[in-house]
Amino acid sequence: MNCIFCAIAGKEIPSDIVFEDESVIAFRDISPAAPVHVLIIPKEHIASVREISGTNSGIIAHIYEIAVQLAKELGIFDKGFRMVTNCGEDGGQTVGHLHFHLLGGRSLKWPPG
Ligand code: 5GP
Ligand code: ZN
């Protein structure tokens, strides 16, 4: 499968990894939209949050646990941060492998464009 995030998870493409365990990898976004911009992904190829069901939803809880840990480590826990997953065309998803953006380090606007 030709998936850039599978290639990052498999270390075929280098990335600035900030966390890794057996099921998840987190790395800095190549085009950061905030002072802290990390992508947290399951190592397993899941196309988007649309593919989440009772059989694989445990990974979402695990990813959020890691996000909180990373927010502390990266210094954005106290002032706050944003976790977001874009899904599909209207959601603005550009990479077809489930990923959560962890953003912080500046005051983020709402609503998004
Ligand atoms: P999406 O638009 O799908 O929600 O987010 C995809 C994100 O992946 C974008 O923020 C983009 O900058 C990031 N991205 C795309 N290709 C690469 C890459 O090769 N390496 C890294 N570190 N980030 C990437
Ligand atoms: Zn993939």
Residue 89 — very low, low, confident or very high, per pLDDT cuts 50/70/90? very high
Task: Give the chain's radius of gyration (CA, Å).
Answer: 14
CA of 29 to the centre of ligand 1 (A): 6
pLDDT at 51 (0 to 100): 98
Q: pTM above 0.85?
A: yes
Mutate-to-test residue for ligand 1 from 2, 30, 82, highest number of ligand atoms within 8 A of CB: 30
Please identify every residue annotated as catalytic: 99
Q: Looking at the structure, give the CATH architecture of the domain made up of residues 4-104.
A: 2-Layer Sandwich (3.30)
C-alpha to C-alpha distance for 90 and 110, rounded to whole angstroms: 17
Largest separation between any pair of C-alpha atoms in the chain: 40
- Which bound ligand lies closest to the C-alpha atom of 2? 2
**Which residues lie closer than 8 Å to 2 by C-beta, 6 or more apart?**
none
Query: Of 17, 1, 5, nearest to 94 (Cα)?
Result: 5
| Span from the CA of 55 to the centroid of ligand 1 (angstroms) | 27
Q: What pLDDT was estimated at residue 113? A: 85
- DSSP letter, residue 22: S
